[in-house]
C-alpha cells in the first residue's frame, strides 16, 4: 500500500474510534473498505468514486459558518474539492477553502477529521455518476476578512448563522456538522 493510502487509513481509523452516530460510523466503515479496494481512490478518474476534502469554515465564536451556493450542484454547501492525488486531505480542505473564498488567514482547528460524509454525485455531461467520500475539517476564519468568490464554482458566498443553515440546506450531513459545531461551542 502506498504511503499516502496509509496516512489516509490512519486518519480514517482515528475518526472511526470517536463516538459517531450510527450513520456516520457506517460511512466511515465504507470509506475504509473503499481505500483498501481502490488504489486510485484519491484520483477523480476513479470511476466508482473518490476522496474530497472540505473546509467547514467557522468564526471564532463557532456561531457562523461560511457557505457557498455551489454552481453545478445548485445548493448551499461547505467549501471543498477533489483530492486529485493528494493524500493530505486537510491540505486539500485548506487549499480549496482559500481558492473558493479568497480567505488567506485560514486556521485548522485540528488535524483530525471533523466529519465524514459519503454522498452520490449525479451524472453530468462527461462525468458518470459516482460517490464522493468527503472528509470535512473544521477551519477557523475571520468574517471581517474580505471574500473573493470563485466565479467558476460558486454563485454566492455567505457567512450564515448556524441556526439558519437548515433554511438553506436541510440535508442531514449539514445538520450533523451544525450539531457538532454547536456541541463544541458549548464545550469551549
Q: What is the pLDDT of residue 24?
A: 97
Q: Is the pLDDT of residue 4 over 90?
A: no
In the structure, what pLDDT confidence band is assigned to residue 1 with cuts at 50, 70 and 90? Answer: very low
Helix (H) or strand (E) holding 106: none
Q: According to the model, what pLDDT value does residue 186 have?
A: 62
- Rounded CA separation 107/58 (Å): 10
| 3-state DSSP percent of the chain in helix, strand and coil, to 5 | 35, 30, 35
DSSP class of residue 181 equals: H
Average pLDDT, the chain: 93
CB atoms under 10 Å from CB of 152, counted, come to 8
Q: What is the DSSP letter of 92?
A: H
**Which CATH class name applies to 3-187?**
alpha beta
State pLDDT tens for residues 51-106: 999 999 999 999 999 999 988 888 999 999 999 999 999 999 999 999 999 999 99
Task: Record the pTM.
Answer: 0.94
Long-range contacts of 114-118 (CB under 8 A, 24+ apart): 114/56, 114/138, 114/177, 114/180, 115/24, 115/56, 115/173, 115/176, 115/177, 115/180, 116/12, 116/15, 116/24, 116/27, 116/28, 116/31, 117/24, 117/27, 117/173, 117/176, 118/27, 118/30, 118/31, 118/49
What integer is the mean pLDDT of 150-161?
A: 88
More confident residue, 154 or 62: 62
The DSSP secondary structure of 60-87, one letter per residue, reads TTSSEEEEEEETTT-SEE-EEEE-TT-S
Binned at pLDDT 50, 70 and 90, residue 2 comes out as low
Q: Residue 127: which pLDDT band, with cuts at 50, 70 and 90? A: confident
Amino acid at each position: 500500500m502506498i504511503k499516502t493510502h496509509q496516512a489516509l487509513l490512519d486518519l480514517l481509523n482515528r475518526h472511526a474510534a470517536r463516538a459517531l452516530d450510527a450513520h456516520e460510523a457506517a460511512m466511515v466503515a465504507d470509506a475504509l473498505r473503499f481505500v483498501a479496494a481502490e488504489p486510485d481512490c484519491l484520483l477523480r478518474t476513479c470511476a466508482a468514486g473518490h476522496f474530497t476534502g472540505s473546509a467547514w469554515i467557522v468564526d471564532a465564536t463557532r456561531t457562523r459558518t461560511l457557505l457557498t451556493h455551489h454552481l453545478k450542484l445548485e445548493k448551499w454547501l461547505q467549501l471543498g474539492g477533489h483530492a486529485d492525488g493528494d493524500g493530505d486531505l486537510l491540505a486539500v480542505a485548506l487549499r480549496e477553502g482559500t481558492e473558493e473564498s479568497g480567505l488567506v488567514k485560514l486556521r485548522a482547528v485540528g488535524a483530525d477529521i471533523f466529519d465524514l460524509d459519503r454522498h452520490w454525485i449525479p451524472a453530468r455531461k462527461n462525468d458518470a455518476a459516482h460517490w464522493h467520500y468527503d472528509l470535512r475539517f473544521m477551519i477557523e476564519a475571520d468574517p471581517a476578512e474580505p471574500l473573493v468568490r470563485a466565479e467558476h464554482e460558486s454563485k454566492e458566498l455567505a457567512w450564515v448563522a448556524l441556526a439558519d443553515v437548515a433554511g438553506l440546506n436541510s440535508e442531514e450531513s449539514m445538520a450533523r456538522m451544525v450539531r457538532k459545531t454547536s456541541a463544541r461551542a458549548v464545550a469551549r
